Structure 1
Amino acid sequence: MQVIGLCRFSYPAIGGFQVEHDAIQDRIRYLYGAQRIEERFRLFETFALPCLKEQTDPDFTMVLVIGDQMPREHVQRLMDLTSGMKQIRIEAHPPRNHREIMKEILNRARTNLSAPCLQFRFDDDDAISVDFVERLRQTAVACQGLLDQNRTVAIDFNKGFVAEVQGHSLVATQILRPYYTAALGMYAAGGCARTIMNFAHQKIHHHMPTITMADAPMWVRTHNGYNDSRQGKVKHFDMTPLTREQEAEFQARFALDVDLIRQTFSSDREG
């Protein structure tokens, strides 16, 4: 069964953001501002990419969506970072309605619309477990009877970590949160044009049966200065520096090199 991931990398969609702008050109300037885009690249390099490279099941497609007005140097940097990763396909698009264009991109990525597929959203500042794709497929097989009776079914791995880089430390705490974007997948039956982007992730269970897996931490959600979903009033998490044992777990489960993360975020690089 085909597995498709969708990642927006500073794509200037119309809608889809909690940070509002008066005009699309204001949004583009915000997204490509030097400080913001540098932080996005650092997070992408140290959190998002390593876990994709180390997936135990490498048979998946990741569509990386960028804006067609992204500065050339940033496009080249993305191409250099993802060079050699056959799973990643970079697509540049003009600003359009957020959900409509993402639905189109996902359906175009299907090699055969008459065959079923599995889909997931992936944020450029998060990490998933290195066995996420493998377990997504395994769960679908184990629940085949439910899938056969429904056009769409959500598969939610609801245990993970919230993490933040603070100075020279990576702090984190483990949480259980249902229907988070990270490690939330969806089955779409053959012939069904609905995608995971048809639904708000926190309300996906209002529209279809869901399968919940809570046996192991499957994601790391970073908190940073430019989280779109964390603007305004947000929940506070008490996070503590990782122990050496937790650093080893982050390396094994998420391919995260904590020493490299510290080094990257303590550097004086500027975009």
Structure 2
Amino acid sequence: MTTYLLTANPSKWPEGSSDPHFVADQAERFASGEELTSSEWATNTKHGHVAGERVYLLVQGEGPRGIIASGHLASGTTEPGPHWRGDGSLATYVQIDWDAFLPIDDVLPTPELIAAAPETAWQPNSSGTRVKPADEEAVESAWQAHLEALGPGPVGGDPTTPPEDDDIERSYREAKRLVRGHQRRFRQLLLKHYPAECAYCGLDVLQVLEAAHLEADSKGGLPTKENGRLMCANHHRAYDAKLLTWTGTEFTPTHGAAVVLPAPSP
């Protein structure tokens, strides 16, 4: 599938531009598990497009640089329209169905992209630059791993074992990750059918609620409303660690774990 880089440069957005608000609003919607708003985005690509082609939004200019969003072309058509600079000129736009959107400070940094996909130009002169075919899979893998890393989840290592000294040497490794592409829609399904609160403690902060499989996904558990409940990130992790047990009607502390788990709110 052909993949393109659309660009955004916040340092060049004119005063009163809607773009900064759009990016912040989309990031907030994505963090809350809400459906993202489709939108037009400027591109200098001259040839025709095909509906479904992959796109990433690359932030450039001053401040953080890297990918903050991804999506697909809603159609293969391009449309002329007033330039976003508001200077009376025209620009060419494509319609994007976005599937992920991060705050600008949470970019997948350009140096990581260069390392993962060295054949692609990561400082393009214009929006609509094509990702080199040899790099497409690497970019998608890096992006999905970045999204997964930003979300709550188990952290490797033993947290009860302190380092031998206060100086921690940085180390890195490459890894292929299996990313559950259905998890966001599973969360939306549960939000539709259950109260927006943790099924164990009652916490009703939408941003930290996650979709928990009653029967684990790894064991064949399906993303259905019957096999899922909303849980805060803390108690979702506790359930995955078998500190909580599902009785068929409610979550209860596993025998011996009650002392480490706060009781549900009365």
Q: What TM-score, normalized by structure 1, do the two folds share?
A: 0.26
Query: Which is higher, the Rg of structure 1 or of structure 2?
Result: 2
If asked which structure has higher relative contact order (CA below 8 Å, sep 6+), I would say: 1
Q: What TM-score, normalized by structure 2, do the two folds share?
A: 0.27
